[in-house]
Amino acid sequence: MKIFNRGKLKIISWCNAPEEDCLQQAANLSNFPFTFKHVALMPDTHTGYGMPIGGVVGLLGVISPNMVGVDIGCGMCAVKTSLQGDLRDKDLKDILSLIRRAIPVGFKHHKRDTLPDYDLLPALPQELVSCKETVLRREEKVLLEQLGTLGGGNHFIEIQRGSDGHIWFMLHSGSRNLGLQVANYYNKIAIRLNQRIAPQIPKEWQLAYLPLDSDEGVVYMQEMQYCLSFAAANRNVMAMRIKAAISEITAAQFLDEINIHHNYARMEKHFDTQLMVHRKGATSAFEGELGIIPGSQGTPSYIVRGKGNEQAFKSSSHGAGRKMGREEAKRRLNFEQEKRCLDDLGIIHSLRSVRSLDEAPSAYKDIDVVMEEQRDLVDIVLKLTPLAVIKG
């Protein structure tokens, strides 16, 4: 853990060497007039829009859409199966084939023949049913098409072997286009509102805010909460379909299940103060709370138990964290070398061409270093080694 003095409040970083742009964003948060106590950076932190990914802040009386992020409710789901040992390569390939048929990836949505049951869609909040000018009302006709879809970028489905001897599967996804639309809509409202109210935030900080007691702040909170429900349901529907695929090939039963967010804001009490805690690419790690910290493609992931470290606002990393931007990775990394490294691991991976180098292991930080840097935030419960990967 390191402390940086770059602004009004201190920056406490569990990343020992954060990039300069990331520190500058943290400094802006430190000078943000509603930030309480300090800014916390997790070991996977890197530059984001306005606020660093892997950043945690507690705000007094306001909420900031850019501090929540554009993929509201993005998170992880991990499921333990009764299967033990290894799966045959043919079984793995057959399971992946069934999953790909059942779950659209990238920009694809469901067609009529793969739509999930309407009952699996979270009900619209009563407060928003009568509102015509909300993102939810505008998008509700296409929500079912997006429910149970993976998305692109770093979203993935992975079949793993656990250190407990069991086969697990894990998936990473969020609220899809809905979260993006909600985030962008309310960030624009916040920018316009901030031009009329004090204190005004420098536009280049990209940290426009909404007072919690304003009409705009209230409706954003309601829409954000629905995005969280939708994201959790999205992962649940995909988990159901992955279970069906595994069951078609094996006699597996399904045991423990964890489903968590790592892009959201919620009211919590820290340092005897009620705060709107923003976790942007960070996992809640209250004492005894189970969490999921995935590695990059081809590296281990972890089930962890929180230690409730108050200095981190009871949080931990949400993954390994990028060390290269997507375009930088495509420019700098060698495709044949990256592919050979994954082939040598004996896993079924998703590195298919130069275009997929942005998700190569070398584009990410070393997960072992990330886990070492947060020993005072979480305990490792289980190590999960990848066997097969589907990338968005």
Give residue-wise pLDDT tens across range 28-71.
999 999 999 999 999 999 999 999 999 999 999 999 999 999 99
- Give the mean pLDDT of 325-348: 90
* pLDDT at position 200: 86
Using omega within 30 degrees of 0 as the cis cutoff, is the peptide bond preceding 386 cis? no
- Give the mean pLDDT of 1-27: 95
The residues facing 57 across adjacent strands are 278
pLDDT surpassing 80 at residue 307: yes
Q: Which of 358, 369, 344 is nearest to 45 (CA)?
A: 369
φ, ψ of residue 275 in degrees (nearest 5): -130, 150
* pLDDT at position 101: 94
In-domain check, residue 264: no
Q: Which of 151, 142, 141, 140 is nearest to 175 (CA)?
A: 151
| Structural domain for 294, as ranges | 74-258+286-323+364-391
* Local structure of 168: helix, strand or coil: strand
Whole-structure pTM value:
0.94
Other Cβ atoms closer than 10 A to 129: 11
Distance set, CA 361 to CA 174, 208, 294, 295, 340 (Å)? 22, 34, 12, 9, 12
Sign of CA dihedral 347, 353, 359, 362: positive
In-domain check, residue 194: yes
- Give the mean pLDDT of 159-167: 97
Q: Which of 236, 230, 244, 231 is nearest to 101 (CA)?
A: 244
- Give the mean pLDDT of 324-343: 90
pLDDT surpassing 90 at residue 127: no
In-domain check, residue 344: no
* pLDDT at position 350: 86
Where do we find the tokens 């270093």?
A: 369
- Using 50, 70 and 90 to split pLDDT, how confident is the model at 85? confident
In-domain check, residue 350: no
- Using 50, 70 and 90 to split pLDDT, how confident is the model at 317? very high
pLDDT surpassing 90 at residue 131: no
Structure token digits, residue 166: 């069991």
* pLDDT at position 140: 85
Is residue 55 a contact partner of residue 29, using CB atoms and an 8 Å limit? yes
* pLDDT at position 180: 96
In-domain check, residue 356: no
Cα–Cα dist 383/390, whole Å: 19
- Give the mean pLDDT of 158-175: 97
* pLDDT at position 257: 95
Contact residues for 346 (Cβ-Cβ < 8 A; gap 6+) = none
Question: Catalytic residue at 278?
Answer: no
In this prediction, what percent of the chain has a pLDDT beyond 90? Answer: 81
pLDDT surpassing 80 at residue 117: yes
- Give the mean pLDDT of 243-268: 96
In-domain check, residue 318: yes
Residue 142, Cβ density class (10 Å: 0-12 exposed, 13-18 middle, ≥19 buried): middle
In-domain check, residue 277: no
Contact residues for 45 (Cβ-Cβ < 8 A; gap 6+) = 13, 15, 18, 22, 52, 53, 54, 55, 281, 321
In-domain check, residue 112: yes
Instruction: Write down the catalytic residue from 38, 155, 166, 318.
Output: 318
pLDDT surpassing 90 at residue 148: yes
Q: Which of 13, 73, 21 is nearest to 39 (CA)?
A: 13
Contact residues for 129 (Cβ-Cβ < 8 A; gap 6+) = none
| Structure confidence by residue, pLDDT tens digits, 177-226 | 999 999 999 999 999 999 898 888 999 999 999 999 999 999 999 999 99
Q: Name the helix (H) or strand (E) containing 388.
A: strand 378-391
Q: Mean pLDDT, the chain, as a whole number?
A: 94
pLDDT surpassing 80 at residue 133: no
Overall domain count for the chain? 1
Q: Which of 333, 391, 320, 330 is nearest to 362 (CA)?
A: 333
Domain containing residue 236: CATH number? 3.90.1860.10
- Using 50, 70 and 90 to split pLDDT, how confident is the model at 235? very high
Cα–Cα dist 79/259, whole Å: 9
| Structure confidence by residue, pLDDT tens digits, 341-355 | 888 888 999 888 898
* pLDDT at position 20: 95
* pLDDT at position 107: 86
Is residue 7 a contact partner of residue 23, using CB atoms and an 8 Å limit? no
